[in-house]
Amino acid sequence: QAMAGLRTRGLDRVLPTLKQPLLGICLGMQLLFEHSSEASRIDAPDDSSARSTDCLGILSGHVQRLPPSPSWPHMGWNQIVSDRAAHPLLDGLAANDWYYFVHGYAAQADVSTIAYCDHGLRFSAAIARDNVHGTQFHPEKSAVAGRRLLSNFLSLT
């Protein structure tokens, strides 16, 4: 439904052309990828009969359902790990900071990943490529660390 809304408004053509910094949060980050299984049947927990939804395609990759274990959906506080060189979006964030997640689907960690999290599988917690940024967690619900990340993003503009 989210992609349908973007298409109806013509934003699926506009967003990939933006030169300004872009930040996708949670589902907004997932929509940056090529495809998602999130619009698939809810009663197909392993995505075996899932159909894929075409997303914005700004980033390569597929958003998939998280495994049922340790819990599904992933809701609550978790830490992220960054093993790449420092990125301005993560400036000033500490390894022991906590972030609030609420999602059942995620993109696997790949070349655009600047921080990842583990919850049944390793997934992208934060991504960045050129002017495009995203967080799977909700910075607006992540207290001091979230405010710092949003401040970092605003400094990119």
Concatenated DSSP letters for 111-131? Answer: TTEEEEEESSSEEEEEEEETT
The predicted model scores a pTM of 0.89
Residues present in the chain in total: 157
Among the options 26, 74, 119, 133, which is catalytic? 26
- Residue 50 pLDDT exceeds 60: no
At 83 the pLDDT is 72
Question: Among the listed ranges 59-63, 67-71, 83-87, 141-145, which one has the minimum average pLDDT value?
Answer: 83-87
At 43 the pLDDT is 44
List pLDDT tens digits, range 75-105.
Answer: 999 999 997 668 999 999 998 999 999 999 9
138 is catalytic: yes
Among the options 34, 62, 87, 140, which is catalytic? 140
